[in-house]
Amino acid sequence: MSASQAAAPAHGAATARPVLASAGPGFVEFAEVEKSYDGRTFAVTRMNLSVARGEFLTLLGPSGSGKTTTLNMLAGFERPTHGTITLEGQPVDRLPPYQRNIGMVFQNYALFPHMTVEENVGFPLSVRQVSKADIAARVGRVLDMVRLKQFGDRRPAQLSGGQQQRVALARALVFQPSLVLMDEPLGALDKKLREHMQLEIKQIHTMLGVTIVYVTHDQSEALTMSDRVAVFNQGGIAQLGSPDDLYNTPQSSFVASFIGENNTLEGVVDRVSGEQCRVQLNGGGEIAALAVGVTQGSPCHVAVRPERLNLSAAADGGNALAATVDGRIYLGDHLRLLARLANDQVLTVKLGPEATMANGETVTVSCAPNDCRAFPADAGTGGAIPKQGKTT
Ligand SMILES: Nc1ncnc2c1ncn2[C@@H]1O[C@H](COP(=O)(O)OP(=O)(O)OP(=O)(O)O)[C@@H](O)[C@H]1O
Ligand SMILES: [Mg+2]
Protein backbone atom coordinates (compact mmCIF):
# COMPACT_ATOMS: atom_id res chain seq x y z
CA MET A 1 0.00 0.00 0.00
CA SER A 2 1.43 3.41 -0.87
CA ALA A 3 1.28 6.36 1.44
CA SER A 4 -1.35 8.06 -0.63
CA GLN A 5 -3.65 5.10 -0.11
CA ALA A 6 -2.92 4.96 3.59
CA ALA A 7 -5.81 4.58 5.91
CA ALA A 8 -7.53 7.43 7.35
CA PRO A 9 -6.65 10.23 9.25
CA ALA A 10 -6.20 11.49 12.46
CA HIS A 11 -7.07 14.41 10.39
CA GLY A 12 -5.07 17.54 10.41
CA ALA A 13 -1.84 15.64 10.87
CA ALA A 14 -0.53 16.88 7.56
CA THR A 15 -1.53 20.46 8.24
CA ALA A 16 -0.23 20.73 11.78
CA ARG A 17 3.37 21.38 10.77
CA PRO A 18 4.68 24.91 10.73
CA VAL A 19 4.74 26.50 7.30
CA LEU A 20 6.94 29.33 6.10
CA ALA A 21 8.74 31.33 8.72
CA SER A 22 8.82 34.66 6.97
CA ALA A 23 11.35 37.38 7.79
CA GLY A 24 8.88 40.19 7.15
CA PRO A 25 5.64 40.88 5.38
CA GLY A 26 5.74 39.34 1.92
CA PHE A 27 4.23 40.74 -1.24
CA VAL A 28 1.26 38.46 -0.58
CA GLU A 29 0.49 37.23 2.96
CA PHE A 30 -2.09 34.77 4.17
CA ALA A 31 -2.41 34.93 7.98
CA GLU A 32 -4.40 32.13 9.64
CA VAL A 33 -6.80 32.03 6.71
CA GLU A 34 -9.65 29.51 6.78
CA LYS A 35 -12.50 28.85 4.41
CA SER A 36 -15.62 26.83 5.04
CA TYR A 37 -18.29 26.81 2.32
CA ASP A 38 -20.89 24.96 4.36
CA GLY A 39 -20.12 25.78 8.01
CA ARG A 40 -19.34 22.09 8.67
CA THR A 41 -16.13 21.35 6.76
CA PHE A 42 -12.96 23.28 5.97
CA ALA A 43 -11.85 23.63 2.36
CA VAL A 44 -8.83 25.58 3.61
CA THR A 45 -7.54 25.59 7.16
CA ARG A 46 -4.84 27.50 9.10
CA MET A 47 -3.27 28.84 5.94
CA ASN A 48 -0.13 30.87 6.59
CA LEU A 49 1.68 31.69 3.40
CA SER A 50 4.05 34.41 2.31
CA VAL A 51 4.82 35.06 -1.37
CA ALA A 52 7.83 37.24 -2.25
CA ARG A 53 7.68 39.90 -4.95
CA GLY A 54 8.74 38.44 -8.29
CA GLU A 55 8.44 34.87 -7.06
CA PHE A 56 6.98 31.97 -9.04
CA LEU A 57 5.11 30.02 -6.38
CA THR A 58 3.12 26.90 -7.20
CA LEU A 59 0.28 25.37 -5.22
CA LEU A 60 0.51 21.62 -5.87
CA GLY A 61 -1.76 18.97 -4.43
CA PRO A 62 -4.41 16.32 -5.03
CA SER A 63 -7.92 17.08 -6.19
CA GLY A 64 -10.03 18.78 -3.52
CA SER A 65 -7.05 19.83 -1.39
CA GLY A 66 -7.97 23.54 -1.48
CA LYS A 67 -5.75 25.00 -4.22
CA THR A 68 -8.49 26.76 -6.21
CA THR A 69 -10.18 27.96 -3.02
CA THR A 70 -6.87 29.55 -1.94
CA LEU A 71 -6.41 31.21 -5.32
CA ASN A 72 -10.03 32.43 -5.41
CA MET A 73 -9.67 34.04 -1.99
CA LEU A 74 -6.57 35.88 -3.22
CA ALA A 75 -8.35 36.96 -6.40
CA GLY A 76 -11.40 38.12 -4.42
CA PHE A 77 -13.92 35.63 -5.84
CA GLU A 78 -14.32 34.01 -2.40
CA ARG A 79 -14.08 35.57 1.06
CA PRO A 80 -12.14 33.86 3.86
CA THR A 81 -14.31 32.63 6.75
CA HIS A 82 -11.48 33.62 9.07
CA GLY A 83 -8.04 35.29 8.83
CA THR A 84 -6.53 38.02 6.69
CA ILE A 85 -4.97 38.27 3.24
CA THR A 86 -2.71 41.22 2.49
CA LEU A 87 -1.31 42.39 -0.81
CA GLU A 88 1.67 44.77 -0.63
CA GLY A 89 0.96 45.21 3.08
CA GLN A 90 -2.69 46.20 2.56
CA PRO A 91 -5.54 43.92 3.69
CA VAL A 92 -7.66 43.12 0.63
CA ASP A 93 -10.69 41.62 2.39
CA ARG A 94 -12.96 44.46 1.35
CA LEU A 95 -11.59 44.97 -2.16
CA PRO A 96 -13.63 43.52 -5.04
CA PRO A 97 -11.65 41.48 -7.60
CA TYR A 98 -11.40 44.26 -10.20
CA GLN A 99 -9.71 46.60 -7.70
CA ARG A 100 -6.97 44.13 -6.78
CA ASN A 101 -5.02 44.62 -10.03
CA ILE A 102 -4.50 40.88 -10.43
CA GLY A 103 -4.30 39.05 -13.78
CA MET A 104 -6.02 35.66 -13.96
CA VAL A 105 -5.63 32.67 -16.28
CA PHE A 106 -7.88 29.63 -15.93
CA GLN A 107 -7.89 26.14 -17.38
CA ASN A 108 -10.77 26.93 -19.73
CA TYR A 109 -9.52 29.99 -21.42
CA ALA A 110 -12.84 31.87 -20.99
CA LEU A 111 -12.18 34.02 -24.05
CA PHE A 112 -15.10 36.01 -25.49
CA PRO A 113 -16.07 33.98 -28.58
CA HIS A 114 -17.58 36.90 -30.49
CA MET A 115 -14.48 39.10 -30.11
CA THR A 116 -11.27 38.93 -32.14
CA VAL A 117 -7.97 38.10 -30.49
CA GLU A 118 -7.07 41.81 -30.36
CA GLU A 119 -10.43 42.71 -28.81
CA ASN A 120 -10.12 39.93 -26.25
CA VAL A 121 -6.66 41.02 -25.22
CA GLY A 122 -7.63 44.71 -25.22
CA PHE A 123 -10.71 44.10 -23.06
CA PRO A 124 -9.07 44.68 -19.63
CA LEU A 125 -7.72 47.98 -20.98
CA SER A 126 -11.03 49.19 -22.42
CA VAL A 127 -12.81 48.55 -19.09
CA ARG A 128 -10.04 50.62 -17.49
CA GLN A 129 -10.79 53.39 -20.00
CA VAL A 130 -7.36 53.41 -21.61
CA SER A 131 -7.26 55.41 -24.88
CA LYS A 132 -7.72 53.57 -28.19
CA ALA A 133 -4.19 54.40 -29.35
CA ASP A 134 -2.68 53.13 -26.11
CA ILE A 135 -4.75 49.97 -26.29
CA ALA A 136 -3.54 49.25 -29.83
CA ALA A 137 0.09 49.76 -28.83
CA ARG A 138 -0.08 47.65 -25.67
CA VAL A 139 -2.09 44.85 -27.31
CA GLY A 140 0.48 44.78 -30.13
CA ARG A 141 3.36 44.48 -27.66
CA VAL A 142 1.80 41.72 -25.59
CA LEU A 143 0.68 39.72 -28.67
CA ASP A 144 4.24 39.97 -29.91
CA MET A 145 5.46 38.58 -26.60
CA VAL A 146 3.20 35.51 -26.84
CA ARG A 147 4.02 35.21 -30.58
CA LEU A 148 0.47 35.75 -31.83
CA LYS A 149 0.80 39.07 -33.63
CA GLN A 150 -0.36 37.65 -36.96
CA PHE A 151 -3.54 36.21 -35.37
CA GLY A 152 -4.97 39.50 -34.07
CA ASP A 153 -8.01 39.43 -36.41
CA ARG A 154 -9.04 35.84 -35.72
CA ARG A 155 -11.75 34.72 -33.35
CA PRO A 156 -10.97 32.17 -30.58
CA ALA A 157 -12.72 29.33 -32.46
CA GLN A 158 -10.21 29.78 -35.30
CA LEU A 159 -7.24 29.07 -33.02
CA SER A 160 -5.65 25.91 -31.60
CA GLY A 161 -5.86 25.14 -27.87
CA GLY A 162 -2.32 26.37 -27.24
CA GLN A 163 -2.93 29.57 -29.18
CA GLN A 164 -6.14 30.23 -27.23
CA GLN A 165 -4.25 29.72 -24.00
CA ARG A 166 -1.62 32.24 -25.15
CA VAL A 167 -4.41 34.76 -25.84
CA ALA A 168 -5.66 34.20 -22.28
CA LEU A 169 -2.12 34.73 -21.02
CA ALA A 170 -1.77 37.94 -23.07
CA ARG A 171 -5.09 39.21 -21.70
CA ALA A 172 -3.90 38.55 -18.12
CA LEU A 173 -0.64 40.43 -18.71
CA VAL A 174 -1.78 43.37 -20.86
CA PHE A 175 -2.72 45.68 -17.98
CA GLN A 176 0.66 45.08 -16.34
CA PRO A 177 -0.61 43.54 -13.12
CA SER A 178 1.98 43.02 -10.41
CA LEU A 179 0.45 39.62 -9.59
CA VAL A 180 -0.81 36.94 -11.97
CA LEU A 181 -2.80 33.91 -10.77
CA MET A 182 -3.01 30.82 -12.94
CA ASP A 183 -5.29 27.88 -12.15
CA GLU A 184 -4.29 24.76 -14.11
CA PRO A 185 -3.75 26.93 -17.20
CA LEU A 186 -2.27 24.08 -19.24
CA GLY A 187 -4.57 21.31 -18.04
CA ALA A 188 -6.47 21.07 -21.32
CA LEU A 189 -3.39 20.85 -23.56
CA ASP A 190 -1.60 17.75 -24.79
CA LYS A 191 1.76 16.83 -23.24
CA LYS A 192 4.00 18.34 -25.91
CA LEU A 193 2.16 21.64 -26.05
CA ARG A 194 1.98 21.76 -22.27
CA GLU A 195 5.76 21.42 -22.00
CA HIS A 196 6.23 24.12 -24.63
CA MET A 197 3.86 26.48 -22.81
CA GLN A 198 5.61 25.80 -19.50
CA LEU A 199 8.80 27.20 -21.04
CA GLU A 200 6.96 30.19 -22.50
CA ILE A 201 5.31 31.08 -19.21
CA LYS A 202 8.64 30.71 -17.42
CA GLN A 203 10.34 32.99 -19.96
CA ILE A 204 7.63 35.62 -19.59
CA HIS A 205 7.96 35.41 -15.81
CA THR A 206 11.71 36.03 -16.05
CA MET A 207 11.32 38.80 -18.62
CA LEU A 208 8.62 40.75 -16.77
CA GLY A 209 9.59 39.99 -13.17
CA VAL A 210 5.89 39.61 -12.38
CA THR A 211 4.82 37.61 -9.30
CA ILE A 212 3.02 34.40 -10.28
CA VAL A 213 0.93 32.10 -8.09
CA TYR A 214 0.32 28.99 -10.16
CA VAL A 215 -1.92 25.99 -9.45
CA THR A 216 -1.32 22.52 -10.80
CA HIS A 217 -1.70 18.93 -9.75
CA ASP A 218 1.12 17.90 -12.08
CA GLN A 219 4.25 17.52 -9.97
CA SER A 220 6.72 17.64 -12.84
CA GLU A 221 5.17 20.92 -14.00
CA ALA A 222 5.51 22.30 -10.46
CA LEU A 223 9.15 21.21 -10.15
CA THR A 224 10.16 22.60 -13.57
CA MET A 225 8.57 26.00 -13.27
CA SER A 226 8.63 27.12 -9.65
CA ASP A 227 10.95 28.97 -7.33
CA ARG A 228 9.02 27.37 -4.48
CA VAL A 229 6.20 24.86 -4.26
CA ALA A 230 3.52 24.66 -1.55
CA VAL A 231 2.35 21.05 -1.35
CA PHE A 232 -1.32 21.00 -0.37
CA ASN A 233 -3.05 18.23 1.51
CA GLN A 234 -6.50 18.35 3.09
CA GLY A 235 -6.90 22.11 2.94
CA GLY A 236 -3.49 22.97 4.34
CA ILE A 237 0.17 23.21 3.34
CA ALA A 238 1.96 19.95 4.10
CA GLN A 239 5.32 21.45 3.09
CA LEU A 240 6.62 24.57 1.41
CA GLY A 241 10.05 24.70 -0.18
CA SER A 242 12.21 24.79 -3.29
CA PRO A 243 11.79 21.86 -5.70
CA ASP A 244 15.15 20.57 -4.46
CA ASP A 245 14.08 20.74 -0.76
CA LEU A 246 10.86 18.91 -1.45
CA TYR A 247 12.56 16.17 -3.45
CA ASN A 248 15.54 15.60 -1.16
CA THR A 249 14.18 16.39 2.29
CA PRO A 250 10.46 15.65 2.36
CA GLN A 251 9.06 16.04 5.86
CA SER A 252 6.21 13.55 5.55
CA SER A 253 5.32 10.36 3.80
CA PHE A 254 2.67 12.27 1.87
CA VAL A 255 5.19 14.75 0.39
CA ALA A 256 7.76 11.98 -0.30
CA SER A 257 5.13 10.08 -2.32
CA PHE A 258 3.61 13.09 -4.03
CA ILE A 259 6.91 14.60 -5.24
CA GLY A 260 8.90 12.35 -7.54
CA GLU A 261 9.01 8.59 -7.62
CA ASN A 262 9.38 6.76 -4.36
CA ASN A 263 9.44 3.32 -2.72
CA THR A 264 7.53 3.11 0.54
CA LEU A 265 8.24 0.36 3.08
CA GLU A 266 5.88 -0.06 6.01
CA GLY A 267 7.07 -1.07 9.46
CA VAL A 268 7.36 -0.27 13.14
CA VAL A 269 10.13 1.80 14.74
CA ASP A 270 12.30 -0.48 16.83
CA ARG A 271 14.54 2.20 18.35
CA VAL A 272 15.59 5.78 17.73
CA SER A 273 19.16 6.90 18.34
CA GLY A 274 20.10 10.45 17.45
CA GLU A 275 19.10 11.27 13.89
CA GLN A 276 18.66 7.63 12.92
CA CYS A 277 16.27 4.82 13.74
CA ARG A 278 15.93 1.10 13.10
CA VAL A 279 12.69 -0.12 11.62
CA GLN A 280 11.25 -3.67 11.68
CA LEU A 281 9.58 -4.05 8.30
CA ASN A 282 6.11 -5.56 8.13
CA GLY A 283 6.50 -9.11 6.86
CA GLY A 284 10.16 -9.41 7.93
CA GLY A 285 13.52 -7.69 7.58
CA GLU A 286 14.85 -4.50 9.09
CA ILE A 287 16.28 -1.25 7.85
CA ALA A 288 18.15 1.78 9.27
CA ALA A 289 16.81 5.17 8.25
CA LEU A 290 16.81 8.87 9.12
CA ALA A 291 14.18 9.45 11.82
CA VAL A 292 11.84 12.21 10.60
CA GLY A 293 9.47 12.75 13.52
CA VAL A 294 9.06 9.06 14.45
CA THR A 295 8.99 7.61 17.96
CA GLN A 296 9.94 4.18 19.26
CA GLY A 297 7.18 1.59 18.92
CA SER A 298 5.12 3.60 16.41
CA PRO A 299 4.09 2.51 12.90
CA CYS A 300 6.07 4.25 10.18
CA HIS A 301 6.65 4.53 6.46
CA VAL A 302 10.22 4.42 5.15
CA ALA A 303 10.66 6.27 1.86
CA VAL A 304 13.58 5.71 -0.50
CA ARG A 305 14.04 6.95 -4.08
CA PRO A 306 14.65 4.34 -6.84
CA GLU A 307 17.96 6.02 -7.79
CA ARG A 308 19.21 5.67 -4.19
CA LEU A 309 18.87 1.88 -4.25
CA ASN A 310 21.57 -0.25 -5.82
CA LEU A 311 22.66 -3.84 -6.18
CA SER A 312 26.29 -3.51 -5.10
CA ALA A 313 27.41 -4.77 -1.69
CA ALA A 314 26.21 -2.59 1.18
CA ALA A 315 28.79 -0.28 2.74
CA ASP A 316 29.54 -0.62 6.46
CA GLY A 317 26.35 0.08 8.39
CA GLY A 318 24.39 0.15 5.13
CA ASN A 319 21.07 -1.57 4.54
CA ALA A 320 20.94 -4.86 2.64
CA LEU A 321 17.68 -6.59 1.69
CA ALA A 322 17.47 -9.96 -0.06
CA ALA A 323 15.26 -9.85 -3.17
CA THR A 324 14.40 -11.63 -6.40
CA VAL A 325 14.33 -9.88 -9.78
CA ASP A 326 10.69 -9.67 -10.79
CA GLY A 327 10.93 -7.58 -13.94
CA ARG A 328 13.17 -5.34 -16.04
CA ILE A 329 12.06 -2.20 -17.82
CA TYR A 330 14.61 -0.91 -20.32
CA LEU A 331 14.27 2.84 -20.94
CA GLY A 332 17.29 3.61 -23.15
CA ASP A 333 19.29 5.77 -20.77
CA HIS A 334 18.54 3.61 -17.72
CA LEU A 335 17.00 0.37 -16.54
CA ARG A 336 14.30 -0.02 -13.92
CA LEU A 337 14.55 -3.27 -12.07
CA LEU A 338 11.63 -4.60 -10.05
CA ALA A 339 12.99 -6.39 -6.96
CA ARG A 340 10.61 -8.51 -4.87
CA LEU A 341 11.48 -8.69 -1.15
CA ALA A 342 10.84 -11.67 1.14
CA ASN A 343 7.69 -9.88 2.40
CA ASP A 344 6.44 -9.75 -1.22
CA GLN A 345 6.81 -6.01 -1.53
CA VAL A 346 8.25 -4.94 -4.88
CA LEU A 347 10.90 -2.18 -4.95
CA THR A 348 11.82 -0.20 -8.04
CA VAL A 349 15.60 0.13 -8.46
CA LYS A 350 17.00 2.57 -11.03
CA LEU A 351 20.22 1.26 -12.63
CA GLY A 352 22.49 2.06 -15.55
CA PRO A 353 21.32 0.64 -18.93
CA GLU A 354 24.14 -1.92 -18.92
CA ALA A 355 22.81 -3.81 -15.83
CA THR A 356 22.49 -7.50 -16.69
CA MET A 357 20.39 -9.11 -13.92
CA ALA A 358 17.84 -11.55 -15.29
CA ASN A 359 14.31 -12.26 -14.11
CA GLY A 360 14.27 -14.75 -11.20
CA GLU A 361 17.86 -13.96 -10.20
CA THR A 362 18.55 -13.50 -6.47
CA VAL A 363 20.00 -10.08 -5.64
CA THR A 364 20.76 -7.93 -2.60
CA VAL A 365 19.22 -4.46 -2.67
CA SER A 366 21.36 -2.02 -0.71
CA CYS A 367 21.07 1.60 0.32
CA ALA A 368 22.59 4.07 2.76
CA PRO A 369 20.53 4.82 5.90
CA ASN A 370 20.81 8.55 5.12
CA ASP A 371 18.93 7.96 1.84
CA CYS A 372 16.01 6.36 3.70
CA ARG A 373 13.55 8.57 5.57
CA ALA A 374 11.24 7.14 8.22
CA PHE A 375 8.02 9.12 8.74
CA PRO A 376 5.08 8.52 11.04
CA ALA A 377 2.48 6.44 9.17
CA ASP A 378 0.65 9.18 7.33
CA ALA A 379 -2.80 10.67 7.42
CA GLY A 380 -4.73 10.12 4.21
CA THR A 381 -5.18 12.60 1.42
CA GLY A 382 -8.30 14.32 0.40
CA GLY A 383 -10.44 17.36 0.38
CA ALA A 384 -12.51 19.24 2.87
CA ILE A 385 -12.13 18.15 6.47
CA PRO A 386 -14.74 18.07 9.23
CA LYS A 387 -14.67 21.08 11.52
CA GLN A 388 -15.20 19.13 14.71
CA GLY A 389 -12.22 16.91 13.86
CA LYS A 390 -9.89 19.86 13.53
CA THR A 391 -6.77 19.57 15.66
CA THR A 392 -5.03 22.56 17.12
N1 LIG B 1 -18.26 26.65 -4.23
C2 LIG B 1 -18.10 25.60 -3.41
N3 LIG B 1 -19.08 25.22 -2.55
C4 LIG B 1 -18.92 24.19 -1.68
N5 LIG B 1 -17.78 23.46 -1.60
C6 LIG B 1 -16.77 23.79 -2.42
C7 LIG B 1 -16.88 24.87 -3.37
N8 LIG B 1 -15.71 24.94 -4.06
C9 LIG B 1 -14.93 23.97 -3.56
N10 LIG B 1 -15.55 23.28 -2.58
C11 LIG B 1 -14.98 22.16 -1.80
O12 LIG B 1 -13.81 22.63 -1.16
C13 LIG B 1 -12.77 21.66 -1.21
C14 LIG B 1 -11.56 22.24 -1.90
O15 LIG B 1 -11.89 22.47 -3.26
P16 LIG B 1 -10.92 23.19 -4.30
O17 LIG B 1 -11.70 23.48 -5.51
O18 LIG B 1 -10.25 24.34 -3.62
O19 LIG B 1 -9.85 22.02 -4.55
P20 LIG B 1 -8.64 21.93 -5.61
O21 LIG B 1 -7.42 21.62 -4.81
O22 LIG B 1 -8.61 23.13 -6.47
O23 LIG B 1 -9.03 20.62 -6.44
P24 LIG B 1 -8.86 20.29 -8.03
O25 LIG B 1 -7.41 19.84 -8.19
O26 LIG B 1 -9.81 19.17 -8.23
O27 LIG B 1 -9.18 21.50 -8.82
C28 LIG B 1 -13.37 20.43 -1.91
O29 LIG B 1 -13.80 19.53 -0.93
C30 LIG B 1 -14.53 21.02 -2.68
O31 LIG B 1 -15.57 20.06 -2.82
MG1 LIG C 1 -8.93 23.45 -8.53
State the pLDDT at residue 109. 65
Distance 32 CA to ligand 1 centre (A): 19
Point out the ligand 1 atom lying closest to the alpha carbon of residue 59.
Answer: 21
Task: Please give the Cα distance from 320 to 189 (Å, whole number).
Answer: 44
Tell me the CB-side half-sphere exposure of residue 254, using CA atoms within 13 A: 28
Point out the ligand 1 atom lying closest to the alpha carbon of residue 66.
Answer: 18
Confidence of residue 387 (pLDDT cuts 50, 70, 90): low
Distance 38 CA to ligand 1 centre (A): 12
- Which residues have CB under 8 Å from 162's CB, separation 6+? 189, 193, 196, 197
Which pTM does this prediction carry?
0.85
Residue nearest to atom 4 of ligand 1 (CA): 37
- The least confident of 23-37, 181-195, 241-255, 370-384 is 370-384
Give mean pLDDT, residues 59-80.
Answer: 95
Point out the ligand 1 atom lying closest to the alpha carbon of residue 37.
Answer: 4
H helical segments located in the chain: 67-75, 117-126, 132-145, 161-173, 191-208, 219-225, 243-248, 253-258
Distance 387 CA to ligand 1 centre (A): 16
Q: Is the separation of the CB atoms in 164 and 111 below 8 Å?
A: yes
Pocket of ligand 1 (CB under 6 A): 37, 43, 61, 63-69, 217, 383-384
Give mean pLDDT, residues 189-201.
Answer: 86
Confidence of residue 16 (pLDDT cuts 50, 70, 90): very low
- The least confident of 17-21, 30-34, 279-283 is 17-21
Point out the ligand 1 atom lying closest to the alpha carbon of residue 69.
Answer: 18
Task: Please give the Cα distance from 172 to 170 (Å, whole number).
Answer: 5
Residue ranges near ligand 2 (ion) with Cβ within 5 Å = 68
Residue nearest to atom 24 of ligand 1 (CA): 63
State the pLDDT at residue 262. 93
Could you read off the pLDDT of 215-251 as tens digits, one per residue? 998 999 999 999 999 999 999 999 999 999 999 999 9
State the pLDDT at residue 12. 33
Report which of 33, 26, 14 is spatially closest to residue 239, judged by C-alpha positions: 14
Please name the helix (run of DSSP H) or strand (run of DSSP E) that holds residue 340, with its range, or none: strand 335-341
Query: What three-state secondary structure class fits 353?
Result: coil
Count the Cβ atoms, other than its own, within 10 Å of residue 352. Answer: 9
Give mean pLDDT, residues 42-57.
Answer: 96
State the pLDDT at residue 346. 94
Distance 68 CA to ligand 2 centre (A): 4
Better-predicted residue by pLDDT, 76 or 384: 76
State the pLDDT at residue 282. 93
- The least confident of 58-72, 124-138, 314-328 is 314-328
Distance 209 CA to ligand 2 centre (A): 25
State the pLDDT at residue 386. 55
Distance 366 CA to ligand 2 centre (A): 40
Confidence of residue 76 (pLDDT cuts 50, 70, 90): very high
Which of 37, 60, 184 for mutating ligand 1's site (highest number of atoms within 8 Å of CB)?
A: 37
Q: Tell me 301's DSSP state.
A: E
Residue nearest to atom 11 of ligand 1 (CA): 43
Count the Cβ atoms, other than its own, within 10 Å of residue 390. Answer: 16
State the pLDDT at residue 31. 96
Task: Please give the Cα distance from 122 to 111 (Å, whole number).
Answer: 12
Task: Please give the Cα distance from 289 to 303 (Å, whole number).
Answer: 9
- The least confident of 8-17, 46-55, 108-117 is 8-17
Q: Percentage of the chain surpassing pLDDT 90?
A: 70
Strands 299-304 and 28-35 turn out to be unpaired
Give mean pLDDT, residues 66-71.
Answer: 96
Indicate the residue type of 179.
L
Distance 243 CA to ligand 1 centre (A): 25
Point out the ligand 1 atom lying closest to the alpha carbon of residue 62.
Answer: 25
Residue nearest to atom 18 of ligand 1 (CA): 66
pLDDT over threshold 70, residue 390: no
Which of 34, 40, 60, 68 for mutating ligand 1's site (highest number of atoms within 8 Å of CB)?
A: 68
Give mean pLDDT, residues 46-57.
Answer: 96
State the pLDDT at residue 192. 84
Tell me the CB-side half-sphere exposure of residue 34, using CA atoms within 13 A: 17
Could you read off the pLDDT of 133-187 as tens digits, one per residue? 999 999 999 998 888 999 999 999 999 888 998 899 999 999 989 899 999 988 8
Confidence of residue 18 (pLDDT cuts 50, 70, 90): very low
Better-predicted residue by pLDDT, 98 or 237: 237
Q: Is the separation of the CB atoms in 99 and 88 below 8 Å?
A: no
Distance 232 CA to ligand 2 centre (A): 11
State the pLDDT at residue 384. 54
pLDDT over threshold 50, residue 392: no
For the chain, how far is it from start to end, CA to CA, in angstroms? 29
Indicate the residue type of 73.
M
Q: Is the separation of the CB atoms in 380 and 2 below 8 Å?
A: no
